[in-house]
Amino acid sequence: MANRVGVSPRTVSRVVNDEGGFSEATRTRVLEAVEDLGYQPNMLARGLITRRSGTVGLVGVDMTDPFFPAMAEGIQNEARETGRTMFFASNDGDPQRQAEVFRSLLSHAVDGVIVFPAPGTVEQLAAYARGGMPLVIVDDIVEFPNLASVSFDLEDGANQAARHLLATGRSRIGMISSEVTVPRNRRRERGFFQAFENAPTGTAPPELVRVQPTVTGGSNGLQRLLERRSDLDGIFAFNDSMAVGAMREAQSAGYRVPDDLAIVGCNDIEMSGLVSPRLTTIRLDRPRLSAEAIRVLHYLIEAPGSNPAPLVLPVQLVVREST
CB of 105 to its own copies, least distance (A): 7
Residues 4-43, one symbol each (x = binds DNA by CB under 7 A, - = not), give --xxxxxxxx--xx-x-xxx-xx------------xxxx-
CA distances from 121 to 28, 68, 72, 97, 210 (A): 52, 19, 21, 11, 21
Task: State which residue, 46 or 320, has the beta carbon closest to DNA.
Answer: 46
Supply the minimum distance, in Å, between the C-beta of residue 301 and DNA: 15
> Quick check: 85 binds DNA (CB under 7 A)?
no
Calpha distance 75→68 (Å, rounded): 11
Q: What is the 3-state secondary structure (H, E, C) of 28-59?
A: HHHHHHHHHHCCCCCHHHHHHHHCCCCEEEEE
- Among 32, 37, 46, 93, indicate the residue that binds DNA (CB under 7 A): 46
CB of 262 to its own copies, least distance (A): 18
Burial of 258 (0-12, 13-18, 19+ CB in 10 A): buried
Supply the minimum distance, in Å, between the C-beta of residue 314 and its own copies: 23
Nearer to DNA, 40 or 198 (CB): 40
**Non-local CB neighbours of 95 within 8 Å, separated by 6+ positions:** 118, 119, 120, 121, 124
**By the criterion CB under 8 A, which residues form the site for its own copies?**
40-45, 47-48, 53-55, 58, 62-66, 68-70, 72-73, 76, 80, 85-90, 100, 103-109, 215, 244, 248, 251, 270-271, 274-276
The amino acid that residue 208 corresponds to is: L
φ, ψ at 40 (rounded to 5°) = -125, 130
d(CA 138, CA 60): 9
CA dist 222 and 255 (Å) reads 11
Q: Measured between alpha carbons, how far is 79 from 158 in angstroms, rounded to an integer?
A: 32
Q: Which stretch binds DNA (CB under 7 A): 48-56, 154-162, 199-207, 217-225?
A: 48-56
Q: Which of 252, 258, 202, 267 is nearest to 235 (CA)?
A: 258
Pick the closer one to DNA by CB: 47 or 66.
Answer: 47
Q: Using the rule CB under 7 A, is 1 a contact of DNA?
A: yes
The binder of 6, among DNA, its own copies, none, by C-beta within 5 to 8 A per type, is DNA
Residue with smaller CB distance to DNA, 12 or 284? 12
161 HSE (CA, 13 A, CB side): 38
| Binding-site partner at residue 62 among its own copies, DNA, none, CB < 5 to 8 Å by type | its own copies
Residues that bind DNA (CB under 7 A): 1, 6-13, 16-17, 19, 21-23, 25-26, 39-42, 45-46, 48-50
